[in-house]
Structure 1
Amino acid sequence: MMASVAALLLIMIVAIPSSAAQLPRGPYGGGETLGVAGGAVVAVLARERPPHCSVILLTDGTTSATTVFTELGRLRIPLGLATFEATGEDKNPNMTETRLSWMVDEVRRLRQVSGCVTLVVVSDDPAFLAASAQWSLKGRLLTWSNKLLAVTRRPLQDLRHLYTSFSMMNAMLIITNTLKDFFRCDIYIHLPYRPPEAQVVRVASWSTIRGLTLATHLPLFPEKFSKFAYGPSFVAVAMEYPSYVEGDPAWTPSQPLSFTGPVVRLLTLLANNFNFTYFLVRSRDGQWGTKKPDGSWTGMVGMVGRKEVDIGVGPFSLSGVRAEMVDYMTLFVDDALKIIGGLGRPEVDPWGFLLPLGPLVWTAILAALLVVPGMVLLLLFCFPRKAPQRDTWQRNDTFLYLRILLQQDFRPEPRGWERLVLGSWMVMTLVLTKSYAGNLMSMLAVRYIPQPYQSLRDVLDDPSATLMWPGGSISMQHVMAATTGTFREVREARTIGRVMWVKSTEYRKAMETLVAEGHHVLIVEENEGRSLRADVFSDTGQCDFYSSREHFFPSSMSMIGQKGHPLVPALTKSIKFVKQFGIFDYWMRSFKVNATRCLRPPSRITLNSSLAFTNVWGMFVVLAGGHASALSLLFLELLAARLVQTQNSSLNY
């Protein structure tokens, strides 16, 4: 049904500055401005307006509804035409601001419903044009895919104040001239970052005789942010972020700040493609950016959001809270936090003599020592032999199978089926003992390297361990806001001094001192931890650190820009191509030459050295325990024999 409707007229009366309302109709003669420039507006919209976009007309009260229907009725607008007429009856500035804000909200709501709109502003008042452009930026009425077309009869020199706002929007300016026999309209665009001496670019003209004629190679509504004609210079904020951004080894304090790394390389590629230069600055407080209770922001996110800098290099983790302050570009990094801990000293497990056999094997041996002798005794009772032979077998059978297992001597006198049972047991014992001895010989040469912290729970359960968490990061803000679960326990651990906030510039020093000692662990992204361990290996030739098996707080990351700035969607397109073609991933893999050397440090090593008492004291514990048990049993036997002898003596008397 929408396709069958040619136009929908919606008139709303709101207030703007009174100068617009007091402007007389047609100050330059020749009728209303839209009536003069209607042909140019229709020609531009017919050429550039997508079929699925609606049109919003904003006038200052000098354009009648008849002119709107007459001029714009020639366009087929399936999604409708909405007209907002601004008047200035109310002279109260506060009421004017309130009504103008209300109008902006209504236009934004209509734009969100339409999806794609072209805003046409018709006025001969420079104040009205400036106010409409200012509120389009301030109220974020128009995204870059939406277009602004301003129509006026003011001369170009009276409209210099429109440059700042019009250059940041997908906007064009139509200036009409009433000549003797025909009407002519010149169409201008404001290129961004234009130096003062440069002129506004006239891209086309329209007249009642020749119609619409392009004046340059540029199309109508050109992509002004695809290639900068004047080579602007941007300010980018960055900080050391191992694996992504690192200090340039060739940098000296006398030179401008310089970094290297895959993300800086990406920024340099964008600068070459878009024809801009940049210089880097650091975050003043050394933080990435979190929101304070008073609503202000810290770190690099705060600098970008307050428009102190143009680009945040980062990369920054995607967050709904941060998205309120800045705009994200294409996400090109996926990462998650991991624990970096120091490897312990190689050591032999004193209870390693139990390891050659698994728990199930030990259980099966103990069960066999109980079941096999019991079955043999049961069979002897069921199939009795001569008394001497039976008595001899029963006396020796009690510990016979244990003696065989322990490789002690014995002199059995079995016959028949007893030989088969005993032979099977001896074969099983021979295979078992030989396997145990071989495995034990191998394992005594193994040194175990402790890696105790594999999850946050392991760290929290160890009261001597201290967590070092990235300060000023979105993960830190999430921890401080947690009310349940493991992160709440981390927040509570901070109150007792078990959590430290560290900056990204302090990671390397913290690893080589506190983490290496074994009682501190560092929480970093997986790629960041890989880069730190690669740097340590390059300097020392050793893998002294490990990363946990558990990863948590996964995130996607990208660079950031100012909220609503058209530079963000322009750079986003190029970053998307760099990511999709695998270029950035190649930069990540090739940035660190030793990035994969310490990914999986061994948890055990083999040495050829003599065993110390500290390595095998578990065997002596078993020996001492066995002797203590034997002495206790001997004492009980002597005591029992003494009691029996005493009892027999008393009975004889």
Structure 2
Amino acid sequence: MMQSLQEVLADPEVVWDLTQNPASFRFPSSPAVVAAAVHWPPHITVSRGTDGVLTVSGAMGNVMQVLSRTLNFTYSIITPQDGSWGAERPNGTWTGMVGQVVQNEADIALGPFGIKLSRSRVVDFTDSFYFDDRAILAKKGEPEIDPWGFLYPLTDSVWAALAGVLAVVWLMLGMVSRRPKVVTLLDWSIELLLENVRVFLNQDVTKSLLGTIKARTVLGSWMVVAAVVYWSYTGTLTSLLAVRHIPLPIQTLRNLLDDPSVSVIMEPNTIVTDTISKMKTGELRELHELQFVGRVKYQHAATFPAALDTVVRRQHHAIISTSLSADLFMADLFTLTGKCDFYKARQTFFTSTHCMIGQKGSPVVPAITHRIRSLIESGVYGHWLLSEIPAITTCRSSPPITLVRAPLSLANLWGAVVVLGTGHLVALVAFLLELCWARTCHCRHSSMIPAENTRYPYSQVAIKHGGEKYDDMAGCQIT
């Protein structure tokens, strides 16, 4: 009859050999090892056969195969009733896989487990063979039209550079052009600025400003720059109008905490839930307190894929899991649907170790550590994990924009219409103010310009009407 691990370890010679030569030790007679496990892809997949016997596969299943061959033991799998890793009860006992190891129901537990002080008091940890952090998994928004897309063909730096060049050209044109004596410096400066803006918008140029070669040279150089930028802008804008932006609103833990419409799905009795419950301040403490306002649902990891395709898809929930598990969930749904409907938030948090555990003081744990260390150094464990997720990079790097082919509508361009309407409104207000000013002003000019002098479009031309003289710009009588 096959002996259990505890019966084999009762032999002092076996224990001495195991303690002195943990790297090369093999059991002389193959003992039966009981291992506790919980279904947690891609690390470990627990399956129940038609005969009711549990088997494990995945990366941790491969680890068990290596340990079984190199240490010469057979193993059987058990799983805790609550399906958890293990948490300490108020009376000092433990639940989950940790509880099975502490109560000698299992010799080892596959986990993988995060190391914490309370657990280390009752079990022994192997070396860590993987580090992972926690990520937020949420549903992407529906593609939206950005009405302000006409501002995007040029970056902020290009807009700033254009403003700087415009200011330089404006000053240079003011220095090399001739200002009519009848025009004030302020009016002349405004007219020059508007002239440069007209050039940038590919409009005509006032001939009176091209009287000198210097002025023509300045305006000509500005025309070249404006034409290149204008053509680049129009070409890029055509492409951007065919783009739809996909909202990804939750990018940090703070975004999740501040959105009262989104609830959190987490796994119970883990190192994360236990640690954040003991924190006094900070975002992780706020995450723990969400349960008191009904914004936390505790579910086992095996139910996450179903939750992802139901409540998370409706954008009322978000899942917090390890980053690798989030990649697995997205990849599996992509394999089924061909779409990347979900995304991982940019921020990750709470990095933890991944270890196996054994009974406290067990000499088997150092022997397991030596073999796990070899798997880590060779990169085999990481290779096994990635091989469990064939489409791991497909949705991880999916772009937040999509290209569509549809006719332009007001939804695409209402931002430009708002700019146009605002400009007309400002012009109307300025016109009304000018009318009010013209009616209330009192003109007192000691001299006037002959009526036949209409050479300059900016001059204030005096006309005769009924024996009196009027300024055609202000509409006021000249005394």
- Residue 105 of structure 2 is matched in structure 1 by 308
Highest RCO, 1 vs 2 (Cα 8 Å, sep ≥ 6): 2
- Residue 603 of structure 1 is matched in structure 2 by 400
1:565 aligns with 2:406: no
Task: State the alpha-carbon separation in 2 of the partners of residues 222 and 611 from structure 1.
Answer: 75
* Preserved contact between residue 396 and residue 412 of structure 1 (Cα < 8 Å): no
CA offsets, 1:274-324, max 9 Å, x none?
Answer: 332222222211221122344332221122122121221111112222111
Q: CA deviation at 1:352?
A: 0.9
Task: State the alpha-carbon separation in 1 of the partners of residues 28 and 186 from structure 2.
Answer: 111
- Residue 228 of structure 1 is matched in structure 2 by 27
The alignment of Structure 1 onto Structure 2 pairs a total of residues equal to 444
- Residue 492 of structure 1 is matched in structure 2 by 289
Task: State the alpha-carbon separation in 1 of the partners of residues 155 and 415 from structure 2.
Answer: 17
In structure 2, the CA distance between the partners of 1:529 and 1:495, relative to structure 1 (3 Å rule), is same
Q: CA deviation at 1:620?
A: 1.7
* Preserved contact between residue 268 and residue 299 of structure 2 (Cα < 8 Å): yes
1:155-170 matches, cutoff 5 A: 168=9
Task: State the alpha-carbon separation in 2 of the partners of residues 628 and 419 from structure 1.
Answer: 34
RMSD in angstroms over aligned alpha carbons? 3.6
Larger Rg: 1
Task: State the alpha-carbon separation in 2 of the partners of residues 346 and 543 from structure 1.
Answer: 13
Task: State the alpha-carbon separation in 2 of the partners of residues 601 and 235 from structure 1.
Answer: 43
* SS of match in other structure, 1:289: coil
* Preserved contact between residue 266 and residue 296 of structure 2 (Cα < 8 Å): yes
In structure 2, the CA distance between the partners of 1:433 and 1:272, relative to structure 1 (3 Å rule), is same
CA offsets, 1:587-617, max 9 Å, x none?
Answer: 2222232233222111223222223332332
1:613 aligns with 2:410: yes
Q: CA deviation at 1:488?
A: 1.8
- Residue 273 of structure 2 is matched in structure 1 by 476
Aligned counterpart in structure 1 of residue 304 of structure 2, from 498, 507, 523:
507
- Residue 261 of structure 1 is matched in structure 2 by 58
Residue identity opposite 2:206 in structure 1: R
Most deviating of 476-485 and 273-282:
273-282
- Residue 404 of structure 1 is matched in structure 2 by 199
Q: CA deviation at 1:220?
A: 12
Q: CA deviation at 1:625?
A: 1.6
- Residue 439 of structure 2 is matched in structure 1 by 642
Task: State the alpha-carbon separation in 1 of the partners of residues 396 and 58 from structure 2.
Answer: 20
1:295 aligns with 2:136: no
1:583-598 matches, cutoff 5 A: 583-598=380-395
Q: CA deviation at 1:387?
A: 7.0
Q: CA deviation at 1:368?
A: 4.7
TM-score, length of structure 2 as denominator length: 0.82
Residue identity opposite 1:339 in structure 2: I
Residue identity opposite 1:641 in structure 2: A
CA offsets, 1:318-354, max 9 Å, x none?
Answer: 2222111211123211211122222222223211111
Residue identity opposite 1:226 in structure 2: F
1:449-468 matches, cutoff 5 A: 449-468=246-265
Aligned counterpart in structure 1 of residue 218 of structure 2, from 421, 442, 446:
421
- Residue 82 of structure 2 is matched in structure 1 by 285
* Preserved contact between residue 46 and residue 56 of structure 2 (Cα < 8 Å): yes
* Preserved contact between residue 225 and residue 567 of structure 1 (Cα < 8 Å): no
Aligned counterpart in structure 1 of residue 379 of structure 2, from 576, 579, 582:
582
1:518 aligns with 2:359: no
CA offsets, 1:454-497, max 9 Å, x none?
Answer: 22122223333333223211011111111122212222333222
* Preserved contact between residue 336 and residue 551 of structure 1 (Cα < 8 Å): yes
* SS of match in other structure, 1:308: coil
Task: State the alpha-carbon separation in 1 of the partners of residues 278 and 341 from structure 2.
Answer: 34
In structure 2, the CA distance between the partners of 1:417 and 1:558, relative to structure 1 (3 Å rule), is same
In structure 2, the CA distance between the partners of 1:574 and 1:416, relative to structure 1 (3 Å rule), is closer
Q: CA deviation at 1:650?
A: 11
* Preserved contact between residue 332 and residue 558 of structure 1 (Cα < 8 Å): yes
User: Which blocks of at least 5 consecutive residues in structure 1 are unaligned?
Assistant: 1-162, 172-188, 193-202, 204-217
* Preserved contact between residue 261 and residue 316 of structure 2 (Cα < 8 Å): yes
1:55-204 matches, cutoff 5 A: 168=9, 171=12, 189=13
Residue identity opposite 1:598 in structure 2: C
* Preserved contact between residue 445 and residue 608 of structure 1 (Cα < 8 Å): yes
Task: State the alpha-carbon separation in 1 of the partners of residues 323 and 19 from structure 2.
Answer: 47
In structure 2, the CA distance between the partners of 1:622 and 1:519, relative to structure 1 (3 Å rule), is farther
How high is the sequence identity, in percent, across the aligned residues? 35
TM-score, length of structure 1 as denominator length: 0.61
Task: State the alpha-carbon separation in 1 of the partners of residues 189 and 389 from structure 2.
Answer: 74
Q: CA deviation at 1:505?
A: 1.4
* Preserved contact between residue 242 and residue 532 of structure 1 (Cα < 8 Å): no
- Residue 12 of structure 1 is matched in structure 2 by none
Task: State the alpha-carbon separation in 2 of the partners of residues 469 and 570 from structure 1.
Answer: 34
* Preserved contact between residue 465 and residue 519 of structure 1 (Cα < 8 Å): yes
1:207-356 matches, cutoff 5 A: 226-248=25-47, 251-252=48-49, 254-356=51-153
